[in-house]
Chains A and B, each alone.
Chain A
Amino acid sequence: MSDLSGYTPERTDWGRFALRWGLFVILGLFALWYLAPLFVMLTTSVKTLEEIRTGSLIALPREITFEPWAKAWSQACSGITCEGLRPYFFNSILLAVPSVAISTVIGALNGYVIAQWRFRGADTIFALLLFGCFIPFQVVLLPMAKMLGLLGLAGTIPGLMLVHVVYGIGFTTLFFRNFYVTIPADLLKAAKVDGAGFLRIFVSIFLPLSVPIVVVSIIWQFTQIWNDFLFGVSFSSAGSQPVTVALNNIVNSTTGVKEYNVDMAAAIIAALPTLLVYVVAGKYFIRGLTAGSVKG
């Protein structure tokens, strides 16, 4: 038996209690710190301009109005047009959904080949793709502009799509490769013996096992592409701008009185889809990120 003479349960329990609540308080403070801007944005977006001018920044709205939201969505002016965020919001959807889908599928195939169909130079190719993740956006701006020009895609949504797919492949390949190396090699062999070929094994065996990592890839890529500003502002033209660029234009192109409530509403609208993706799939995101390490 080990020596228990120095053990006093009350004291230890009290220490654990204090530690636990201390942690809660600290984490709560952090949460407040991060939620404060959202709180200000939400309250400001439903106040009238009059109230914003006269009231305090952190005061709750005296009367709630959704006028600023409607204006942000369909009437706010960016530059010379006054169509609100709506057309640009749909531009972003049109851009993000296919880009996310394409880069995820390519990443899954890449990861599958690199992890399970070992070939000469597989590690080198993986290392190069990984290196691609670390290339700063600014470095590729000029060469990419030249490329898009040559392809005739300059200033179009498909052009922007191409940029995001190419930039995303490094990340998606990394996700899927790391996930697929944890799947035992015997599974692939068993499927081969069963008569399945390269694509059949991918579709019937590997994809159904990939749900957690597909979710990771979708969240990551969607967030990246939806939130991107630099590529959006560099490679789009008047009609094809994504929502982030439009938001910037709306906020920066007011004349006369600054409509803070409209700006705040517009910013929240622009951020909603990524929030939604996290809320819906966040649980899987954490699970997927740790899936590889848990299994070993």
Chain B
Amino acid sequence: MARLTLEKLGKRYGRVQALSDIDLAIETGEFVVFVGPSGCGKSTLLRCIAGLEEISEGELAFDGERVNELTPAERGVAMVFQSYALYPHMTVYENMAFGLRLAKAGKGAVEERVREAARMLQLEPLLDRLPRQLSGGQRQRVAIGRAIVRDPRVFLFDEPLSNLDAALRVQTRIEIAGLHERMAETTMIYVTHDQVEAMTLADRIVVLRDGRVEQVGAPMELYHHPANTFVARFIGSPSMNLLAAEPTDAGVQVKGFAPTPLTAPPGARGLSLGVRPENLRLAEDGETPFYEGDASLVEKLGESQLVYFDMGAEAEPLVARLPGALPAKKGDRMRLATDPEALRLFDDAGQAVRAG
């Protein structure tokens, strides 16, 4: 139940600048996901918001009030940790009640809140157990329960699904999405390195790299209009194909490919043309192919298949996601087509060029 504003927020460890110039506004009830490769600063940023790390520069405000100097409890945050971090010597009930008791909630109120959270998360039969008697998924639910009972202004998740197996991860992901729906007023911030979690859970995604924000936006906005090659490659799986391209009279063209209708700004050099594997398809008869080549590798995924085309020793192979029913095998000659709207152009600094 808080609107967060980060202004020029920075974090230094000695001489290492872990975060710099983070400007961000997070609305009340919004579900924001911080995503990026390991070491990008996403967890550090989360801990700065939580109050577990001191903020070196800039300001963090909840509902317009500066909270830089406040403790986590004073900020009213709750957090779910990757390792669950349950108190090993306390029962499930005591784990959930600990924070409430510290906040001097009355005995009746503690009981009521814990029971309610336990009901919500189907933890009622487990209330008297110790954490070591629970499975990984149950522990994670207790960790979430411990956060819920405190009715936090901001709900923080630090890679909460990383320690779960694949099936449980999907299930818990759906539960967290449901939680967000039920607690519509609570602002949630979620850190992950998994772009699928980011895409499926987020209202908005914040992509971080080397302690800086690369792009902020709704999942599909990032998917369709990545601000730069980093975001383009990070969001979506398999990654967007990036092909070295040159401006020609006919339009931007990749060597060995058909010219595209995209036009580059005057004097542009070192361009990259981006096209997602799922935006490549087989050319119809009579259609001019965008690219024609021999498949160097075919990966059958069931509903679809990934077909790789060798782009020479230096370049990464071109990947196309084609329907699974298509009879394709290594060495097949294929003619690929694409739609011009699906093409993205980036300049030599990797920044997106809004092609005219």
A209 CA to B103 CA in the complex, in Å?
Answer: 23
List chain A residues, Cβ under 8 A from B83.
Answer: 184, 186
Contact A187 B87 (CB under 8 A): yes
Chain A at the B interface: SS class = helix
- Most chain B CB within 10 A, of A189, A191, A205, A208, is at A189
Please tell me which one of the listed residues A190, A195, A209 contacts residue B81 in the complex, with CB atoms under 8 A apart: A190
* Chain A, Cβ-Cβ closest to B96: A194
Interface string of A200-219 (1 = CB under 8 A from B): 10001100110000000000
Contact A195 B85 (CB under 8 A): no
- Check A192 for interface membership: any CB of B closer than 8 A: yes
Contact B52 A193 (CB under 8 A): yes
Chain B at the A interface: SS class = loop
With A187-B87, A208-B89, A209-B89 known to touch, is A194 a contact of B81 (CB < 8 Å)? no
Contact A204 B52 (CB under 8 A): no
* Chain B, Cβ-Cβ closest to A183: B88
With A186-B82, A187-B87 known to touch, is A195 a contact of B52 (CB < 8 Å)? no
* Chain A, Cβ-Cβ closest to B89: A208
List chain B residues, Cβ under 8 A from A192.
Answer: 51-52, 71-73
List chain B residues, Cβ under 8 A from A187.
Answer: 85, 87
Q: Nearest chain B CB to A108's CB is how many angstroms away?
A: 16
For window 43-82 of B, CB contacts with A under 8 Å fall at: 47, 50-52, 71-73, 77-79, 81-82
- Check B98 for interface membership: any CB of A closer than 8 A: yes
- Check B16 for interface membership: any CB of A closer than 8 A: no
For window 152-192 of A, CB contacts with B under 8 Å fall at: 184, 186-187, 189-192
Q: Nearest chain B CB to A189's CB is how many angstroms away?
A: 5
* Chain B, Cβ-Cβ closest to A197: B71
Interface size on A, residues (CB 8 A): 16
Contact A195 B79 (CB under 8 A): no
List chain B residues, Cβ under 8 A from A204.
Answer: 98
List chain B residues, Cβ under 8 A from A196.
Answer: 98, 102
- Check B217 for interface membership: any CB of A closer than 8 A: no
Interface residues on B, range: 20 to 34
* Chain A, Cβ-Cβ closest to B143: A190
Please tell me which one of the listed residues A184, A186, A193, A205 contacts residue B77 in the complex, with CB atoms under 8 A apart: A193
Q: Nearest chain A CB to B13's CB is how many angstroms away?
A: 11
Please tell me which one of the listed residues A189, A200, A208 contacts residue B85 in the complex, with CB atoms under 8 A apart: A189
Please tell me which one of the listed residues A184, A194, A208, A209 contacts residue B99 in the complex, with CB atoms under 8 A apart: A194
A184 CA to B84 CA in the complex, in Å?
Answer: 10
Contact B87 A195 (CB under 8 A): no
Q: Nearest chain A CB to B131's CB is how many angstroms away?
A: 11
List chain B residues, Cβ under 8 A from A193.
Answer: 50-52, 72-73, 77-79, 99
For window 287-315 of B, CB contacts with A under 8 Å fall at: none
List chain A residues, Cβ under 8 A from B73.
Answer: 192-195
List chain A residues, Cβ under 8 A from B87.
Answer: 187, 190-191, 205
A191 CA to B73 CA in the complex, in Å?
Answer: 10
Interface string of B78-113 (1 = CB under 8 A from A): 110111111111000000001100110000000000
Q: Nearest chain B CB to A252's CB is how many angstroms away?
A: 51
A101 CA to B200 CA in the complex, in Å?
Answer: 55
A187 CA to B79 CA in the complex, in Å?
Answer: 12
Which residues of A approach B to under 8 Å, CB–CB?
A: 184, 186-187, 189-196, 200, 204-205, 208-209
A and B contact pairs by CB, cutoff 8 A, 16 listed: A186-B82, A190-B79, A190-B85, A191-B87, A192-B72, A193-B50, A193-B51, A193-B52, A194-B73, A194-B150, A195-B71, A195-B73, A195-B102, A196-B98, A205-B87, A209-B88
17 additional A-B residue pairs with CB within 8 Å, beyond A190-B81, A190-B146: A186-B82, A186-B83, A186-B84, A189-B79, A190-B85, A190-B87, A191-B87, A191-B98, A192-B51, A192-B52, A193-B52, A194-B73, A194-B98, A195-B71, A195-B73, A195-B99, A204-B98
